[in-house]
Amino acid sequence: MQPFLHSVITILTNLFIVLMLFWMIFWDRELSHPVRKWWIPKVLPYFFWLGLCHEWKMFSPDPYKQNWWPKIKLTLADGNFFIWEPTPSEQLNAWEKLRYKKYHKLYLEISRYKGAVNIKLDFILYLLRRYNLEGTCVKAEIYQVHQPIPPMDNSEQTPVKTYQSLVYTYQPVKS
């Protein structure tokens, strides 16, 4: 019984190693890569369930060439507006900078031009709950406020300009 059990454990361990190597190597490949395209989706639900999905693409293929943050305009039933913007980093003290740094990525996601639709809606619903505006808000708009980073060769001469673009609209209650 002992050698049989040992063999079973050895086989299972080796299979586990092969599976993990396969996942580590191919998960972060391009979506067009044949293995990523055809084989990874077959094991994806199990790895997703375990929370082992990962990408190592920070600041790539190119770092952002602009700074941006969200600005949210909530139109209320009485015609008034409620504007929400994150506190600029310079106005936070050292503890607040530390405490709120997990929010950076969230703010980038909700003010993207495309995608992240669920995250955008989640955040609007959160604001409505937080400021008790559920039922009184008739329209919510997310704007991306952005400042292009001046090109390196001309950084001192180029003034920093701020732009604003509408990236998402949601109507909680039909007006």
Partner 1 sequence: MFSLQQLSDAWNTFFFTPEPVYTIALFRIVFGLILLYDSFFIWANALEYLGPQGLLGYERYQQRYHKKSLSLFLYLPPTPLAVHAVLAFHVFFLVMMILGIFTTISVMAVFITLNSIINRNVSLCNGGDNLSRIMCFLLIFTPCGQAWSADQWWQHHQFITPGYITMQAPWALRLMQIQVSIIYLYTVYWKLKGATYRKGIAMYYITANDVYRRYRVPRFLLQKPFVQILTWGALIIEFALGIGLWIKEVQYIFLVIGYLFHLAIEYMLNIHLFGWHMLAVLLLFANPVDVYHVIGSWLA
Contact residues: partner 1, CB under 8 A: 13, 16-17, 20-21, 24-25, 28, 45, 48-65, 67, 69, 89, 97-109, 116, 118-119, 121-123, 125-126, 129-130, 149, 152-153, 155-156
If the CB atoms of residues 24 and 76 are measured against partner 1, the closer one turns out to be 24
- What are the distances in angstroms from CA 38 to CA 35, 43, 44, 50? 5, 10, 11, 20
CB of 48 to partner 1, least distance (A): 6
CB of 2 to partner 1, least distance (A): 17
If the CB atoms of residues 15 and 77 are measured against partner 1, the closer one turns out to be 15
In b/e form, how buried is each residue of 56-71, taking b as 16+ CB within 10 angstroms?
eeeeeeeeeeeebbbb
If the CB atoms of residues 62 and 78 are measured against partner 1, the closer one turns out to be 62
CB of 91 to partner 1, least distance (A): 12
Q: Are 133 and 74 in contact (CB under 8 A)?
A: yes
CB of 96 to partner 1, least distance (A): 11
What pairs with residue 146 in β-bridges? 68, 163
If the CB atoms of residues 26 and 82 are measured against partner 1, the closer one turns out to be 26
* Phi and psi, residue 126, nearest 5°: -65, -45
Query: CA 83 to CA 72: how far, in whole Å?
Result: 6
If the CB atoms of residues 80 and 135 are measured against partner 1, the closer one turns out to be 135
End-to-end CA distance of the chain: 74
DSSP class of 117:
H
CB of 68 to partner 1, least distance (A): 8
